[in-house]
Amino acid sequence: MTEALFAEFEAATREDWLEAARASLRGRSLESLVSSTYEDIDIEPLVGADAVDGAHLYSLPGEFPFRRGRTEGGYRERPWLIAQDINIADPDDFNAALREALANGQTAITLTGDLKLEEASDLRRALAGIDLRRFPLFIRSDGRVPEIYRLLQTALSEDELSGLSGCAGYDPLASLARTGRMRVDAIERLAAHVARVAESSPELGSIQVSAVPYHAASANAVQELALVLATAVPYLRGLSEYGLAPDLAATKLQVELCIGENFFMEAAKFRAVKLLWAQMTRAFGVDDEGQGIRLHARSGGRNKTRRDRYVNLLRLTTEALAAVIGGVDSLTIAPFDAPLGKSDGFSRRLSRNLQLILREEVELAQVIDPAGGAWHIERLTDELARRAWAQFQSIEAAGGILAALETGLIQAEIAAIAERRRADVASGAAILVGVNKYVNADEPAPPNRPESAEASGEESGVREIRVEPLPPLRLEDAIDAPSASGADA
């Protein structure tokens, strides 16, 4: 049918497309349209199938190297989980907000460090009346994750524990990068946590590999991907020394990435990490199940603004779309007013509904692989994967991620990107709407709410490894004060 439909048309070559593009530029060269990214990747104006070279290009969903997802049916078989944070401290208030969220479209539970959990009774109150078999559970509390799981073991019945899914992910290296501190026995503690969770909750993940601290400090996409691999390697090696085979560890592991500003680059990043993960785990001898990544995405904070906070809704929308097109398994979108401190039910509802619109109205959950065959994204995927693998090998050659953090190598490389981003926003070379251009001069400065606490969660009095922590970047801080020079009329 397709052949018959196009039989009367002459096939267009790439050169034909290039000639048509040149004609439309009225004397300007195609090269003038090429731009460069913070990953030092040149963005070409016209990309076709010939721009990508790799056997993975012809793989199908559910096939190695899983860049198109772990299952044949993709989102049609398993839609992404809507895993919104509820940053409320009191367990009873948290429970009320969680019940409301689950009744109105949220499909996963997230316990963050804001929630006050000191005793098993706190968890019983926080999760009262919630069907834990129906809703996957994600625990995000840095070094406290093993402790919180032990509280769960006291708070829940054996049947409830065995039915848990999601991830109680402990990630000591990410805590080290963010806070500058890590227990010297972190891998031993991780091994004990993995074994404990595997025994009581066989479907629950127990290891997290997060690039969030690096993204927050301004890492580019290549650096984020390389650091994911560099973090996973010592976990897989270290756990093996404690008798936990890579096959088991890989199935208990979840990767967490933030979503940045460059829409197509971010969509490609989520596909590239699948390629890299499959290659890395195969090198460890991991079987097919472990080679397929479990991928969580969350919105970043470096491009969010305090003053023109409603513009953050638009940024969050494009970020959510990039993550879904990239094929994530679960997604957390922060409230638009998160830069002001703790958010309320209104702003949490808007971020939840943002995901619901993508699922129910845009119908992205009805598509197996939304980005499949989009050559610009496929080319970026391939380029990111190649560059990230090379940078990962450089980190390994420097002694691995721990040594690279101890010497300050990683901090210095990310600081260089942060300085470029600051300079571009300050000069106007990069546009941050509502901050350095299109500023609403009449927008009043909003009052701050109490900030969410985010301590390391590690016990005091334990021998620690210390490094220089990665400072988070907020791009609006590169501007001394909002200027009305670019304000809308």
**How many structural domains does the chain have?**
1
Amino acid identity at 481 = A
Predicted confidence at residue 482, as pLDDT, reads 42
Q: Do the Cβ atoms of 179 and 469 come closer than 8 Å?
A: yes
DSSP 256-267: EEEE-S-HHHHH
Assess whether pLDDT exceeds 70 at residue 488.
no
Assess whether pLDDT exceeds 90 at residue 239.
yes
Residue 441 falls inside a structural domain:
no
Residue 119 falls inside a structural domain:
yes
Res. 246 pLDDT band, cuts 50 70 90: very high
Residue 3 falls inside a structural domain:
no
Extended beta strands in 40-89, E state: 42-43, 81-82
Mean pLDDT of 316-344: 95
β-pairing, 464-466 vs 330-332, is unpaired
Predicted confidence at residue 443, as pLDDT, reads 77
Residue 355 falls inside a structural domain:
yes
Mean pLDDT of 265-290: 93
DSSP 401-447: HHHHHHTTHHHHHHHHHHHHHHHHHHHTSS--BTTTBS--TTPPPPP
Residues in the chain: 489
CA–CA separation, 229 and 278 (whole Å): 11
Residue 236 falls inside a structural domain:
yes
* Residue with the larger pLDDT of the pair 287 and 445: 287
Residue 42 falls inside a structural domain:
no
Alpha helices per DSSP H over 7-90: 14-24, 74-77
Res. 483 pLDDT band, cuts 50 70 90: very low
382 SS3 class: helix
Extended beta strands in 160-226, E state: 166-170, 181-183, 204-210
User: For residue 208, what are the β-bridge partners?
Assistant: 254
pLDDT tens-place string over residues 129-180: 999 999 999 999 889 999 999 999 999 999 999 999 999 999 999 999 999 9
Fill in the DSSP letter of residue 10: P
Extended beta strands in 241-370, E state: 253-259, 295-299, 330-332
Long-range contacts of residues 420-427, Cβ cutoff 8 Å, at least 24 apart: 420/38, 421/38, 421/218, 421/302, 421/473, 421/475, 421/478, 422/473, 422/475, 422/478, 423/478, 425/475, 425/476, 425/478, 425/479, 426/478, 426/479
Q: Do the Cβ atoms of 229 and 282 come closer than 8 Å?
A: no
Range scoring the smallest mean pLDDT among 136-150, 195-209, 247-261, 437-451: 437-451
Predicted confidence at residue 487, as pLDDT, reads 41
Residue 364 falls inside a structural domain:
yes
Residue 472 falls inside a structural domain:
no
Q: Apex CA 108: angle with CA 104 and CA 109, to 5°?
A: 100
Structure token pair of residue 314: 């638009």
Q: Which phi-psi region, left, alpha or beta, contains residue 27 (left: φ > 0; alpha: ψ -120 to 50)?
A: left
167 SS3 class: strand
CA–CA separation, 467 and 396 (whole Å): 18
* Residue with the larger pLDDT of the pair 54 and 143: 143
Assess whether pLDDT exceeds 50 at residue 453.
no
Q: How many other C-beta atoms can be found within 10 angstroms of the C-beta atom of residue 26?
A: 6
Question: For residue 453, what are the CA distances in angstroms to 87, 120, 267?
Answer: 10, 21, 30
Average model confidence (pLDDT) across the chain: 90
- Residue-number span of the structural domain to which 218 is assigned: 55-390
Mean pLDDT of 284-297: 90
Assess whether pLDDT exceeds 90 at residue 279.
yes
Predicted confidence at residue 449, as pLDDT, reads 53
Predicted confidence at residue 460, as pLDDT, reads 57
The continuous run of DSSP H or E covering 466 comes out as: strand 464-466
User: For residue 181, what are the β-bridge partners?
Assistant: 466
Predicted confidence at residue 224, as pLDDT, reads 98
Question: For residue 188, what are the CA distances in angstroms to 145, 167, 194, 208?
Answer: 14, 19, 10, 15
pLDDT tens-place string over residues 75-119: 889 999 999 999 999 999 999 999 999 999 999 999 999 999 999
Structure token pair of residue 109: 């539970």
Best-predicted range by mean pLDDT (10-24, 36-50, 140-154): 140-154
> Which CATH number do you get for residue 220?
3.20.20.240
Mean pLDDT of 206-223: 98
